[in-house]
Amino acid sequence: MADLTVNFPAWVHVREVGLRDGLQIEKPITTAAKERLLDAVVATGVRRVEATAFVSPRAVPSMADAEEVAALLPRWPGVRFSALVASPGGARRAVAAGITDLEYVVSASDGHSRANVKIGTDEATEKIAEVAATVHDVGGRVEVIVATAWDCPFDGPTPTERVLRIVERAVELGADELAIADTIGTATPVRVQRLIGAVRERVGPVELGAHFHNTRGAGLACAVAAVGAGVVRLDASTGGLGGCPFAPGASGNIATEELVYLLHDMGVETGIDLGLAIDAAAVAQDVVGHRVPSNLLRAGDRKRSG
């Protein structure tokens, strides 16, 4: 019988993105509800949380209270909170609100870039320098997330070379970290390993994360493939909430509790308590007011009795 084991790392860092990516396509909820959800996700033991986004409130109404959310964050010392921005102006807002750990998104496809930020990929890429300068001036860090890295809902398959040009230029312009995102959930494990390998070859030891959506049911398989390719930071969203408002058909992220369940069973530590992660998914379901995609929330851990 074939040996299907792989030399996985001892530890994978999970960043909780439910407060931002998870809520950005939902109807706006109150800041108090977000505080309740933050309490639940921090209680799980997660130590990186993307708390909000400093973007246009007209384009993304659910993120209109970014400054109010930022004001809550000192309640949870020891957690590395970050925010997503889509422009240098957003970076300045975030820094003014006290968040200096930022993610800046560049879409690898022009079609999605124009739908998302009204400019093409090349122009969005060059703005990394201004975002990085704003963050570095206050001692912060900036991660560049390459969206639509595998496929675009407008332009189709994304050529690998486009992704490689972006990551290479991002490092030149001051990115401290990189992440590759499957914005519309079309990636498959082999494609993930090929692209991660190519990115690694192009940029070397720069810290690299990955972000998967479960639109076509392959999100967790892609996450395992990324870990097998050397990625040790993955994004996930409590309850499997999420999706991109500027990418037709995109649905939720991989669920935090499902990712933790899978990694722990593979012998990979995350520092997250699975039972509390399932509890947080239940809170997420309650605050958004509808059923969330998580299978684990419905089925529970296999250790459950009754």
Catalytic residue among 234, 244, 274, 280: 244
Q: Which stretch of DSSP H or E encloses residue 141?
A: strand 141-147
Q: Which stretch of DSSP H or E encloses residue 145?
A: strand 141-147
The CA distance from 235 to 18, in Å, is: 9
How many angstroms separate the Cα of 72 from the Cα of each of 41, 48, 266, 271? 14, 15, 35, 23
Environment class of residue 43 by beta-carbon count within 10 Å: exposed (0-12), middle (13-18) or buried (19+)? Answer: middle
Residue 210: phi, psi to the nearest 5? -140, 155
Q: Is 152 a catalytic residue?
A: no
The CA distance from 17 to 21, in Å, is: 6
Catalogue the active-site residues.
244
